[in-house]
Amino acid sequence: MPKVSMTVNGKEVSGNIDSRTLLVQFLRDTLRLTGTHVGCDTSQCGCCVVHVDGKALKSCTVLALTLEGANVMTIEGLATDGKLHPMQEAFRENHALQCGFCTPGMIMTSVDIVNRKGNKLDEQTIRHELEGNLCRCTGYHNIVKAVAAGAEAMGK
């Protein structure tokens, strides 16, 4: 089986994998980073969003072998030195999660929204930008609040 090497959450990792292995399968099955979830099979739900070279990507849409040398960050890598990322804090503070299954993808997408759109986000922008992430528990109300609060906190 071919070998792939990349940086995941700051660590050099590699694995010999079946060539049809998706990035999300490499993360979950080979690296046992199970914080990245699989909620669908049509790239609709966003539960599997990670950052690849600094940009949000649905990790079910890319073959792991195509990411030789890439820099990947998953939800497990977002907190640094034991300190939660402001977006993680905002999700907890605003009760933006219930079952928690969509949450890793939501948070990774939300950080990416702020990276692209800045720290002042209005409700309409947030709702539009979250179009690639499904949540079945919250009705989105508190997620929208959390993204706005997290965005602001990231600017401080």
Partner 1 sequence: MSATGVGASVRRKEDLRFITGRGQYTDDINRHGQAYAYFLRSPHAHAEINRLDTAKAAKMPGVLAIYTGDDIAADKIGGLICGWMIHSKDGSPMKAGAHPALAQGKVRYVGDHVAVIIAETLAEARDASEMIKVDYKVLPAVVDMNDAVKQGAPVIHDVSGNNTVYNWHLGDKAATDAAFAKAKHITKLDLVNNRLVPNPMEPRAAVGDYEPGTESFTLYTTSQNPHVARLVLSAFIGIAAENKLRVIAPDVGGGFGSKIFIYAEETVCVWAAKKVGRPVKWTSDRSEAFLSDAHGRDHLTHAELALDEKGKTIGLRVHTKANLGAYLSTFSSSVPTYLYAPLLSGQYDIPAIYAEVDGVYTNTAPVDAYRGAGRPEATFVVERLIEIAARETHTDPAQFRLKNFIRSFPHQTPVIMAYDVGNYQASLEKALEMSDYRNIGKRKAASAREGKLRGIGISAYIEACGIAPSAAVGSLGAGVGLWESAEVRVNPIGTVEVLTGSHSHGQGHETTFAQLVSDRLGIPIDNVSIVHGDTDKVQMGMGTYGSRSGAVGMSAIFKALDKVIAKGKKVAAYCLEASAEDIDFKDGKFSVKGTDKDIDFGSVALQAYIAHKFNGQDLEPGLKEGAFWDPTNFTFPAGVHICEVEIDPETGVTRIDRWTAVDDFGRVINPMIVEGQVHGGIGQGVGQALCEGAYYDKSGQLITASFNDYCMPRADDLPSYNVGMTQTPCPSNPLGIKGCGEAGAIAAPPAVINAITDAVGHENVAMPATPLAVWRAAQNAVARKAAE
User: What is the Cα–Cα distance from 111 to 119, expressed in whole angstroms?
Assistant: 10
Q: Write down the least CB distance from residue 6 to partner 1, Å.
A: 18
Q: How far is CA 29 from the centre of its chain?
A: 17
Q: Is 11 in the site for partner 1 (CB under 8 A)?
A: no
Q: Minimum Å distance from CB 70 to partner 1?
A: 19
In angstroms, the CA 104 to CA 109 distance is: 9
Strand partners, 16: 3
Contact track, partner 1, 127-146, x by CB under 8 A: xx-xx-xxxxxxxxxxxx--
102 binds partner 1 (CB under 8 A): yes
Inter-CA distances, 127 with 29, 67, 118, 121, 143, Å:
32, 30, 15, 10, 9
CA neighbours closer than 13 Å in the CB half-sphere of residue 35: 17
Binding mask 26-65 for partner 1 (x = CB under 8 A): --x---xxxxxxxxxxx-xx-x------------------
Q: Which residues bind partner 1 (CB under 8 A)?
A: 18, 20, 28, 32-42, 44-45, 47, 74-76, 78-79, 84, 88, 91-93, 95, 97-104, 107, 123-124, 126-128, 130-131, 133-144
